[in-house]
Every structure is written in structure tokens, then in C-alpha cells.
Amino acid sequence: SQTIHQWPATLVQPVGSPLSLECTVEGTSNPNLYWYRQAAGRGLQLLFYSVGIGQISSEVPQNLSASRPQDRQFILSSKKLLLSDSGFYLCAWSDIPSGRPYYEQYFGPGTRLTVT
Amino acid sequence: GQSLEQPSEVTAVEGAIVQINCTYQTSGFYGLSWYQQHDGGAPTFLSYNALDGLEETGRFSSFLSRSDSYGYLLLQELQMKDSASYFCAVRDPSGNTPLVFGKGTRLSVIA
């Protein structure tokens, strides 16, 4: 079966510090990978998605970046955090089953980031 | 692009039935999905409609009308544990694109 891991679970960082959040997926190959951010009580904002190693699509211009160094690893980074970067960061994966017109997205447990 | 509208909050009594509506505007359409998210947790998939009509999974049902660009999630025999946020989502059929989520409806079940 497939599992998705994210770490750390919680993080408190000062403004201006760097950030690195890691997501890994097990039990599947060549998944689509996604990073979402959710502010408190708000919806899911898509930040980045990747359909393959080294292929990153950015949805929102910001001080964040993403990388996919390995097939099942997705990393979210920042060189200098802003207060507005606080939120709940969710990694998700999906694949496209052949012959089926849709796919589900499976979310990791999330990282709660507080920038102080 | 795609946009989805759903009510921000709904309150219902334990044991009752509640309907959460979702209207969407898309340049293409490839089905309407519903996700549930409890406070502090990750969203989990509930249901999917590709064709018009009602899909039933236990106490939860989801409906789609493609001609009206409208769908809803129906929760029956509400339980306290159903208190959560519910998101509708669509995907553009053109290419390998992510789901686009609505802003979510926070359901509060009261005794």
C-alpha cells in the first residue's frame, strides 16, 4: 500500500530564517506530487506541483520554491521566511489510473509552520 | 481556469440531514470530488461524480448536475464526528493538472 510522510509535524521559525520541508511517498512510482498551504480556517492553496523528477510548476509567485530530486521526494524551501508564510503545509500525491477518467489526491499529515 | 463556490459554514443537529452545495465554473470538466478535513488533520477523499446523478456511500451521498454546474454532498444521520470542513474540487481535463479546491464549508454538528 502507499503511504506519504511529511516532516517535521510542527515548526517554529523566526522571520528571515530558511525553511526546508520534506515529503516522501512509498509504494508507488512516478506519482504526481503537490504542495498546498492552508491558512487557519481557510481553503487549500496550491503552491507547486510536479509530474516528474526535476519538473516543477509554480502556481503562486512567492518566496517559496520546490524541488523534486528523486521520484518520490518533494521538498519545499525558502531562503528567508516571512510572517505571512505561517500556515499548514500539506503534501499530496496522485496517479492517473489507466482507463479511468479521474484521480484522487492523497494528503500527508501536514506540517504546521509558525513564523515568529 | 476554474472556480468553485460553497457556503462557508453550516450548522446542523445530530441525527439530522445536511446538504452542502457546490457550484463551479470551469473551462473544462472532469468530475466533481468531495474531501473531508477534521481540525488539525489532512483532507481525505469522500466521493467523486463524473456523471449526473447521485452516488451513495453509506451515510454520505454526492450529487452532480453537469448542465447546472452544480453538485452537493448529502450527509445523513449526522454524528458529532461529522463536524469538519468539506471541500468540493474539480480538475481540468486538459493535461496533468492538480485538483482545484473550493474554499471549504465548515460543518458544525450540535446536540
Q: Which of A49, A90, A94 sits opposite B42 (nearest CB)?
A: A90
Q: Residues of B with CB below 8 A from A94's CB? A: 98
Here the cell at position B89 is 474540487
Q: Residues of B with CB below 8 A from A109's CB? A: 41-42
**pLDDT score for B111:** 94
Residue B13 has pLDDT above 70, yes or no: yes
B window 14-53, beta carbon within 8 A of A: 30-31, 33, 41-45, 48, 50
Considering only B14-18, B65-69, B94-98, which range has the smallest mean pLDDT?
Answer: B94-98
Residue B18 has pLDDT above 80, yes or no: yes
Residue of B nearest to A38 (CA): B103
CA distances from B51 to A26, A38, A75, A85, A109 (A): 32, 30, 36, 39, 31
Q: Taking the C-alpha atoms of A16, A75, B100 and A30 in order, what is their torsion angle to the nearest 10 degrees? A: 170
* DSSP structure string for B4-70: EE--SEEEEETTS-EEEEEEEEESS---EEEEEE-TTS--EEEEEESSSEEEEETTEEEEEETTTTE
Q: A74 — contact with chain B (CB < 8 Å)?
A: no
pLDDT band at A102 (very low <50, low <70, confident <90, very high): low
Q: Residues of B with CB below 8 A from A34's CB? A: 98
> A49-101: per-residue pLDDT in tens?
998 898 998 887 679 999 999 999 999 999 999 999 999 999 999 886 655 55
Q: Which of A46, A104, A107 sits opposite B42 (nearest CB)?
A: A107
Give the residue among B85, B98, B91 at the shortest CA–CA distance from A38. Answer: B85
Task: Using CB atoms within 10 Å of the CB of residue A113, give its burial: 0 to 12 exposed, 13 to 18 middle, 19+ buried.
Answer: buried
CA distance B103 to chain A (A): 4
CB-based contact A105 B45, cutoff 8 Å: yes
Q: Taking the C-alpha atoms of B47, B95, B92 and B36 in order, what is their torsion angle to the nearest 10 degrees? A: 30
Give the residue among B61, B70, B44 at the shortest CA–CA distance from A104. Answer: B44
> A7-26: per-residue pLDDT in tens?
999 999 999 999 999 999 99
**pLDDT score for A74:** 97
Q: A87 — contact with chain B (CB < 8 Å)?
A: no
